[in-house]
Amino acid sequence: MRKQSTASLQRQRAALVRRLPSLQAVLRGSLLERYKRCGKPGCRCAQGPGHGPKYYLSASQSGEYPRVDYVPQGYYKQVEQYLANYRAIKETLKEISVINSELLRRREPL
């Protein structure tokens, strides 16, 4: 971290906090895109990639197998945004932590 004044670090931290998305609008995991064959012999999916795309949310908890849940088409955009919010919050928290560590190192009020 380049040498910044304490006031500058505090302003930067406050700006990061204001930039955080709503904590209610977060999801952790990954979106999977799948194409499925229905099994009907005359269906177009037998010759092509399959029906789809169908989307699934894959998320794991510590010590558990990943859970995969179907995401209806109408929820796709919202789920995509919630996943992006999670990534943004995680990155912003890292930046805030770096600032707080620097303030602590300087023995400045947190």
pLDDT tens-digit map of 49-80? 889 999 999 999 888 899 999 999 999 999 99
Answer yes or no: is 56 within a domain: yes
Answer yes or no: is 110 within a domain: no
- Quote the number of domains for the chain: 1
- Evaluate whether 71 touches 56 at the Cβ level (below 8 Å): yes
Angle, CA 11 vertex, CA 8 and CA 17 arms, to 5°:
145
Answer yes or no: is 65 within a domain: yes
- Evaluate whether 25 touches 85 at the Cβ level (below 8 Å): yes
pLDDT of residue 1: 54
Q: What is the pLDDT of residues 10-47, one digit of tens each?
A: 999 999 999 999 999 999 999 999 999 888 888 888 88
Domain that holds residue 18: 6-105
Answer yes or no: is 1 within a domain: no
- Please count the other Cβ atoms lying within 10 Å of the Cβ belonging to residue 57: 20
Tokens of 47: 């010759």
Candidate from 5-14, 36-45, 100-109 with smallest mean pLDDT:
36-45
Q: Long-range contact list for 75-78, CB < 8 A, 24+ apart?
A: 76/31
Predicted TM-score (pTM) of this structure: 0.84
Answer yes or no: is 93 within a domain: yes
